[in-house]
Structures are given as structure tokens and as C-alpha cells.
Amino acid sequence: MLGVHLTPERDAVILVDVQNDFCPGGALPVPEGDRVVPALNALLERVRAVAVATRDWHPPNHSSFKPHGGPWPVHCVAGTAGAAFHPALAVDRVAHVVSKATRPEEEAYSGFQGTDLAAFLRQRGIRRVFVGGLATDYCVKATALDAVKHGFEATVLEDAIRGVEVQEGDCARAREEMKRAGVRLMRTEDLT
Ligand code: VGL
Ligand code: ZN
């Protein structure tokens, strides 16, 4: 098997927005969103890498919310149960939590936007990031593209992501856009 070996000296796994509101039953549910949890947990159990988790962490009056002129239902309000990580996610493996889009006028699909994520990774000597979570066509895509822009080698874990698919084909287009930008797509089973 053509596998990639991960080491915590060089590699980080980024868990993007694995939060209750993005899972079935949540405020902005991603179809099968909860399915990323066992895939990511199994990966973190098997490989040695620095794990980082991002979370959408909005104020109640965030500009992305429909009542405030935005496109989305109210979701991931800081401190609420909907904003909490999925209860089964292996948060004990997570070395650093990154909260994003924390101010009313600031939207941040990327975990790098307005956060200390790049600085944290650089400080730890990380050169490669492996990205999974929610949602493929929004925060996963934006985070992977920004990782490349920040000079990291970025891989998206195809079996550990799910998308919103507001328009049919959004996830397929997101994958193409990521590939064009130099993001690699791999399955978690190909990592050791
Ligand atoms: C996200 C829509 C709105 C995401 C966040 O995590 O992909 N999508 N806020
Ligand atoms: Zn949001």
C-alpha cells in the first residue's frame, strides 16, 4: 500500500468544526455529518500527530445568521450545546482548540482566518496538515486552501469529511478546487 507515515514532529490533523449543530439534529445539519467522528477517532488512535480542533464560535447576533441578514440559520452560538464538539469526538487527543468567527461582523470559514492556527502549527514545527471534518464545501475547503496559502502541505481526508451541498455538485466542485490549488486527497486508511 502506498501509505503516508505521520509523525508529531512534522504532522498535524485538523478536525474542522465537528460540532453538534453541524450533525443530524443540529441547527445547520450536514447530511451524515456525524459519520466523520468514528473515522477521525480511529485515525487519532492509530497515528501519532498533533491534533487541532477548530470550532465555529459565533456571537448570538452573528452577521451570517438569517435574522441578521446572512445566509445561515442561527448555529454554533458560543457556549451553547449546539456549539459543543460532538460528544463522541476524541477531544482528549486535541492539543489546541481554535475558535473562529467570534465577532458579529466577521465570517471565517477557514480555521486560519483571524486565529492563531498558523502560528501554533509553525511553533510546533508542523509542515504537513491532514484535514477532516465539516463541511466539505465550506470550512473544510477554506481551511485546506488557506493551509496551502500559509505554506503547509495539505491533505484532505476524503472519508472523514461531509458536505452541506446547498447546490448539487458543491462538494464535487470543492474537491476540484482543492486539487487545483495543490491539496492532496487521501483516505484515512492510507495513513499510518
Ligand atoms: C460552516 C456554514 C456556516 C462550516 C460554518 O463549518 O462549514 N458552514 N458556518
Ligand atoms: Zn458559521
- Flag whether the pTM goes above 0.95: yes
The contacts of residue 99 (CB under 8 Å, 6+ apart) are 54, 55, 57, 78, 115
Q: Is 135 in the pocket of ligand 1 (CB under 6 A)?
A: yes
Q: Is residue 104 part of a domain?
A: yes
Is 141 catalytic? The answer is no
Q: Is residue 70 part of a domain?
A: yes
**Tally of domains within the chain:** 1
Is 17 catalytic? The answer is yes
Q: Could you tell which of 15, 75, 161 is best to mutate to test the pocket of ligand 1, judged by most ligand atoms within 8 Å of the CB?
A: 75
Q: Is residue 15 part of a domain?
A: yes
Q: Is 134 in the pocket of ligand 1 (CB under 6 A)?
A: yes
Q: Is residue 162 part of a domain?
A: yes
Q: Is residue 2 part of a domain?
A: no
What is the domain extent for residue 137?
11-190
CA of 126 to the centre of ligand 2 (A): 27
Q: Could you tell which of 55, 66, 72 is best to mutate to test the pocket of ligand 1, judged by most ligand atoms within 8 Å of the CB?
A: 72
* pLDDT range class, residue 130, cuts 50, 70, 90: very high
pLDDT tens-digit readout, 73-122: 999 999 999 999 999 999 999 999 999 999 999 999 999 999 999 999 99
Q: Is residue 4 part of a domain?
A: no
Q: What is the pLDDT of residue 1?
A: 58
Note whether 135 and 36 are within 8 A (CB).
no
The CATH code of the domain that includes 65 is 3.40.50.850
Q: What is the mean pLDDT of residues 125-135?
A: 98
Q: What is the pLDDT of residue 119?
A: 98
Q: Which residues pair with 13 in a beta bridge?
A: 51, 130
Q: Is residue 87 part of a domain?
A: yes
**From 17, 34, 56, 137, active-site residue:** 17
Q: Is 65 in the pocket of ligand 1 (CB under 6 A)?
A: no
